[in-house]
Structure 1
Amino acid sequence: MSGENEKKERPSPRFHGRVENTGQRCAQPGCDEPGEFRAPPAEGTAGPDGPRPYRWMCLEHVRAFNSRYNFFDGMSVDEIHDAQRPLAGWERETRAFAHGGADRPPRWTDFSDPMDAIGARFRRETAPERSDGKPLSGQDRASLKVLGLAADADRMALRRRYSELVRRYHPDRNGGDRAHETMLQQVIAAYQQLRQAPAFA
């Protein structure tokens, strides 16, 4: 019988907020019971330097505190009315998580995107750059720029333009002048990259 009474007096901490072994005494004057339950400070829950510490109370005195607690204490009639409305708190606009099936593009002023990796993704999703719908990466676009080709160029146009530029910049075509050697290397690298890209497969 005594075991059952003890269970009733010491409810499960899972449902009653008991914090054992706090080392605190009940904040109620004259009470020497352990303070195992938190309650807001008498002056309120916030001060000029941040939240004030909780008061710790025994079960009996925290029950008495809770029975006197009034959420609306200190509010005007209009504030109480607003707090009791069924839609109170739902007026705030929330950020949309999706837009047309995809995330919203970020504001370009917020970061640097030198390889155009993020920008390319959003351009592909909003408007394909090629009539065949094949994707172009940032590197694809950079290589097309080196070769002077449009985004919609096909494999045959790629080969034709490559041959034309190699003839133009090769030293054998310029009387041994190697001034265009750097440009020739860029043309070769761009062609090698594009011929393996999905858009030109």
Structure 2
Amino acid sequence: MRPPKDRPNTRFHGRVENAADTCAHPGCDAPGEFRAPPLGDSRGKDSPPAWRWFCLDHVREFNSGYNFFSGMSPDEIDAAQRPYAGWERETRAFAHTGADRPPRWGDFDDPLDAIGARFRQAAPKQRADGKPLSGENRRDLGTLGLSADADRKALRQRYTELVHRYHPDRNGGDRSHEGQLQKVIDAYQRLRKAPAFA
């Protein structure tokens, strides 16, 4: 939409039209359509700062008087202007725990083969009997420490072993493993009803 001919250049970045406040500059009654930082620290304990609002002419005047380096020593100014300012700080390495590392592109002649290999690595192992396992079933098998090919007998044996290990009546009244015991019980109850173990 184009501005009306009687109001040229009405589109400015940061303009808030129909502002309720008037310009904060003394003696100016134009609408305050541009936000500027507050004087001093007017921030309440649990509230954002109380911004000052200026008209276009006075926000331009405010911006022209702004000096980023105000109050800095010559050494601090020099340090802030260096091309690599901020890069000398040590940063943490990016974690790759969210996903497996992808295959190396150099190991493949065709980039599409590399992409396919990435997804083949991520595909979960299927059961030998072809019975389906949901993501929840796989997590429950991991809780019990079983492979995807475990059968109903292995499931029952592992459940019994873990209950004996974690139950307070079996380990001298030690209740520190009750959380793990509950996870084992919940996993077993879900798995015994799963199609792969029916």
- TM-score scaled by structure 1? 0.46
- Give the TM-score of the pair, scaled to structure 2: 0.47
Of structures 1 and 2, the larger Rg is shown by 1
Of Structure 1 and Structure 2, the greater helix share is in 1
